[in-house]
Homo-oligomer: A and B are copies of this chain.
Amino acid sequence: MMTPKKKVPRRRTTVVNAGRLVIGGDAPVTVQTMWKRPLGTADRETVDAVRLLSALGCDLLRFAVPRIDTADRLGELALTVDLPLVADIHFDHRIALRCMDYPVAKVRINPGNIGAAWKVEEVVRKAQDRGIALRVGINAGSLPKRLAAEKDLAVAMFRAAEEELGTLERLGFDQVVFSLKSSDIDDTIRANRLFSERHHNPLHLGLTEAGPLVAGLVRSTSALEALLEDGIGDTIRVSLSDSPESEVAAGREILRVCGLQSPGVRIVSCPTCGRAVFDVRRFVREVQPFLAAQRKTMTVAIMGCPVNGPGEARHADLGITGSSKYAVIFKEGRVLKRVPADRAVEAFKEEVEKFSSPAEPSDREPEQPSGSSSA
């Protein structure tokens, strides 16, 4: 049912292992997000939140680590959950070193603020020793001072990345992913193209400080789609002044529109209007978390009224519309059942569960829901 916009020939990059996750090479493009609160202990609530993000399609989860004690808390979490975790380090390289005492999958450093070359070297040596990947995150907002005079920010970001790459190559370290981010769409696209034309390190794509939900989604889609359709990009993060769950959903959908990821439920739902008799927004809100956690390739149509409802339902694998009293569930265009409104969500979920889609790729195993294993 889903037509990919075009088939994308991916640019070939080297393989980087971030814990059990493969970035680059033939690996599928992965989706990341970032933890938005101060990191507490690896308690039940934190562990459950991490597992939920994994179930929603997050492949890699990053945490800001501003202090040494946060490094220990991140380490404790990395020992508890199966999802690969990334430590995000600014200013103080000793925090990066501490994180690597634990099984974190990757450490992100921003060379623009880490300082002296020997500090970067210490981080690289330990990463090499522990088999931990690095990301060098170049950001237009925090470039090394010596590049501040370069008027073209895309060129400045590219130069900053090349300088760091030179250092890493001299140290014989190749387990590194690069990112070149700006809040400007054009600068971000050009910087990544410049890098991708000359180097084979995997690229983490993102538009930084993209903005509030609506504007940030539009801008991120525009930037990331342009690069992904060029075959550029091995892992993506959609930065939004919104929840990590929204960032993951956005990342997954961007891959989908680029034809890069097939599994997942596509929701066709109407915007509703003065004609709507079925409460689409409420129904969508109630079934969305459930649908987002499905790894089936299917299309569901959630429609407010009879104008386009049956037509759309005809093209969907499963459809629902109705009134305030009853809901009608369609399957491949035919009426399957009619249920009272208060049974609609439950009956719809049952039908989604019954639906069988083509075999799923086995490269991504969602975590188990939290059970009695964590107190």
Give A273 Cβ to nearest chain B Cβ, in Å. Answer: 4
User: What does the 1/0 interface line of A17-58 toward B look like (CB < 8 Å)?
Assistant: 000000000000000001111110000000000000000000
Q: Chain B: which residue is nearest A254 at the CB level?
A: B218
Does A175 lie at the interface of the complex (its beta carbon under 8 Å from any beta carbon of B)? no
Within 8 A of B (CB), among A219-267: 219, 221-222, 225-226, 239-242, 246-247, 249-250, 253-254, 257, 266-267
A222, A239, A273: which has the most chain B beta carbons within 10 Å?
Answer: A273
Question: Across the two chains, which residue of chain B brings its CB closest to A310?
Answer: B141
Closest B residue to A90 using CB positions? B307
Q: Which chain B residues border A246 with CB–CB below 8 Å?
A: 214
Which residues on the B side are within 8 Å of A65 (C-beta)?
A: 274
Cα separation A254 to B185 with both chains bound (whole Å): 12
A167 within 8 A of partner (CB): no
Which segment of A97-105, A203-211, A334-342 sits at the interface? A203-211
Choose from B36, B66, B184, B269 the contact partner of A211 (Cβ within 8 Å): B269
Provide the A301-313 mask, 1 if CB < 8 A to any CB of B, else 0. Answer: 1110001111110
Residue of B nearest to A154 (CB): B3
If A185-B5, A221-B221 touch, whether A210 touches B274 (CB-CB below 8 Å) is no
Q: Pick the most buried of A140, A143, A189, A268: most chain B CB atoms within 10 A of its CB.
A: A268
Per the bound structure, the CA–CA distance linking A62 and B273 in Å amounts to 9
